[in-house]
Amino acid sequence: MSFPNHNDRHAWTTRLLNADNDLAEDLSVSPPLHQSVNYAVLSEEHLDEISGPLGSHYYTRRGNPTGARLAKVVADLEGAETGMVFASGMGAIATTLMAFLKSGDHVVGQKNHYIGITEMIDRILPDYGVEQSRVDQRSVDAFAAAIRPNTKLIVLESPSNPLMHVTDLKAVCDIARARGIVTLCDNTLATPINQRPIELGVDIVMHSVTKYIGGHHDLLAGCIVSSRPLVEKVWNLSMVTGAIAAPFNSWLALRGIRTLELRVRQQNRNALAIAERLEHHPAVLKVFYPGLPTHAQHRLAAEQMSGFGGLLTFDLKGGYGAGQSFIQKLRLARHASSLGGVSSTLVQPATLFGGRLPSKLVEEQGITPGLIRFAAGIENTEDLVADIEQALG
């Protein structure tokens, strides 16, 4: 017995609340937390049934009912057949890269990615014999030119963290598909509310669930969604490498995802209001937000996104010191590394990444000393803008 199936024509929040109805076997309105690692085997046939790829009722490293429900809701939102969950966004991306690349293969990435992904492609994979190229994501031709006979995977992120560059997802995926190359897109910053890469031709979508999907600064998780054969390929590695999401984190993320649309709409509104206010502020050199008509890639962003997201970056005229002073004076937003939660957070990427990364990468990423990455929460828009204005003096 389960709840009736949702109707695909429903709007996002209705889908978010009902996409996993067929898994609600006990009819509990709030999903149970399946903390058990082991599930009893009744017979040989039963073992086959529960332990296969993406099986969720045998041993939690191979899958877990609470994680499977979360994956189902994300897959539904992204328009994918199925999905699986990981211990973190990096767990998801690292496992997927390893599943699709072996020694002698070539991967194309972007110059701008979340820094952990840049490090994976630039520093870790070459140690395992994988060749890599990273290109300026703003140029479709640069992707085409980077492809080699041994290219197996193209890794995309749009908009990218932290400078909000945009990739023409459809154009790059058309090129990749014509050559039989798999595409993987990090959709963390956009969220499926604002952008659905699978509809644009992407093969695999990944999320740091830690960010907007979880949404409350209280869990670490990741996920991928795609067609069943591609997810099974990743599962085959993951059941050995074991970076699976803890059931409790999946449960928290399931609770968080129900309000994703409501939160993201407010975060879109807040980020746009801040970007508009800062664009002409005397203390600000430049604002990076694809929702601004003055953003060089605004037209492309407007074509492939239905909202521009809650993250924006701006460069302060006073450089590093001005950034530090701005952070200290803020009363609402917190100086903290993550993004996508209900309360606003911000970082100065020069401090976050600068000490840890080779200067070549910092420069290449366009990280200047006065840069601030601001992740708008769901606070009242006027309160947030007023706080930023008082902190800028």
Ligand X SMILES: Cc1ncc(COP(=O)(O)O)c(C=O)c1O
Going by their DSSP bridges, the two strands 182-186 and 204-208 should be labelled as parallel
CB nearer to ligand X: pick between 60 and 210: 210
* Residue recorded with tokens 């969720």: 56
Tell whether residue 377 is a contact of ligand X (CB under 6 A).
Answer: no
Q: Which of 31, 63, 65, 89 binds ligand X (CB under 6 A)?
A: 89
Give the nearest distance from C-beta 103 to ligand X in angstroms.
25
218 in contact with ligand X (CB under 6 A): no
* Inter-helix orientation angle 89-100/228-241, to 10°: 110
Can residue 249 be called a binding residue for ligand X (CB under 6 A)? no
Q: Closest approach of Cβ 223 to ligand X, in Å? A: 10
Specify the pairing of strand 284-288 against strand 311-316.
antiparallel
Cα 123 from Cα 125, distance rounded (Å): 6
Number of residues counted as binding ligand X (CB under 6 A): 14
Q: Rounded CA gap, 382 and 41, in Å?
A: 57
224 counts as binding ligand X under rule CB under 6 A? no
Cβ nearer to ligand X, comparing 151 with 158: 158
State yes or no: residue 161 binds ligand X (CB under 6 A): yes
Select the residue interacting with ligand X from 58, 114, 143, 308 (CB under 6 A): 114
Backbone angles phi, psi at 106, to 5 degrees: -125, 140
Q: From the CB of 222, what's the least distance to ligand X, in Å? A: 5
Tokens of 13: 């929040």
For ligand X, the closer CB: 89 or 323: 89
Interface residue with ligand X among 222, 307, 310, 349 (CB under 6 A) is 222
Cβ–Cβ under 8 Å, residues 206 and 222: yes
Residue with tokens 């996002």: 12
Residue 371 Cβ vs ligand X, minimum distance, rounded to whole Å: 15
**Active-site positions?**
61, 114, 186, 211
What is the C-alpha to C-alpha distance for residues 150 and 27, in angstroms, rounded to an integer?
50
| Cα dihedral 333/336/338/343 (nearest 10) | -30
Residue 52 beta carbon to ligand X: minimum distance, rounded to whole angstroms: 28
**Counting contacts by CB under 6 A, is residue 88 touching ligand X?**
yes
CA distances from 62 to 14, 24, 39, 94, 108 (A): 30, 20, 12, 17, 30
Q: List all residues 6 or more positions away from 196 whose beta carbon is below 8 Å from its beta carbon.
A: 77, 78, 79, 187
The CA distance from 297 to 292, in Å, is 9
User: Of 79, 116, 318, 319, which one interacts with ligand X (CB under 6 A)?
Assistant: 116
Which is closer to ligand X, CB of 188 or CB of 194?
188
Please identify, among the stretches 147-155, 185-193, 318-326, 366-374, the one whose residues bind ligand X according to the rule CB under 6 A. 185-193
User: Based on CB atoms, which residue is closest to ligand X, 50 or 346?
Assistant: 346
Which C-beta is closer to ligand X: that of 58 or that of 86? 86
Query: Is 189 near ligand X (CB under 6 A)?
Result: yes
| Position 220 contacts ligand X (CB under 6 A) | yes
C-alpha 301/C-alpha 48 separation (Å) is 46
Please tell me whether residue 365 binds ligand X under the rule CB under 6 A: no
Q: Does 186 bind ligand X (CB under 6 A)?
A: yes
Residues in contact with ligand X by CB under 6 A are 88-90, 114, 116, 161, 186, 188-189, 208, 210-211, 220, 222
